[in-house]
Amino acid sequence: MKEDKQPYMRTMTTGDIPEIIEIEKRSFISPWTRGMFVQTLASPVSHSFVMIDGQRITGYIILYQAGLEIHIMNIAVHPDHRRQGIGGAMMAGILESARADSVELCFLEVRETNFPARALYEKLGFKNIGKRKGYYSETNEDAIVMQLSL
């Protein structure tokens, strides 16, 4: 049968976690554990989404909301599906819904050497507002703190 459904974003569920962990392990030096995803999904301040293409999860994004601010906690795209606009689409989706919700600021941290992610955030208008020294303890790498005014 022809699969003609467009990719779409939906809320993450615990049933998604095994597939997400496979992407997570291929995306980060210190991947989140199952427990971290479970805890995040249970948190009333977190909002977590997956991008679905066909039957597969191609990416996911997790944010925390505190008042009129949101903080991007995690975003990754399956390595086989990068540079196809998925990361940008997920970010645009959550930023659009944050704006509609009168959220004023979006923050995130990114590894200084993570040039693909930094390029994505800069393209969306994020500005560097500071640095957290040695934030990534396993490599002692600094985090760049970025902010977008919505």
Nearest to 43 by CA among 66, 9, 22: 66
* Choices 10-18, 36-44, 115-123, 132-140; region in contact with ligand COA by CB under 6 A: 115-123
Judging by DSSP bridges, how do beta strands 105-111 and 69-77 pair with one another? parallel
CA dihedral 65, 70, 73, 77 (to 10 degrees): 120
143 in contact with ligand COA (CB under 6 A): no
| Binds ligand COA (CB under 6 A): choice among 73, 95, 120, 144 | 120
C-alpha to C-alpha distance for 60 and 68, rounded to whole angstroms: 22
Site for ligand COA in 72-111 (CB under 6 A): 75-77, 82-88, 110
Nearest to 50 by CA among 25, 16, 80: 16
Site for ligand COA in 2-31 (CB under 6 A): 27
Give the binding site for ligand COA (CB under 6 A).
27, 75-77, 82-88, 110, 114, 116-117, 119-120, 123
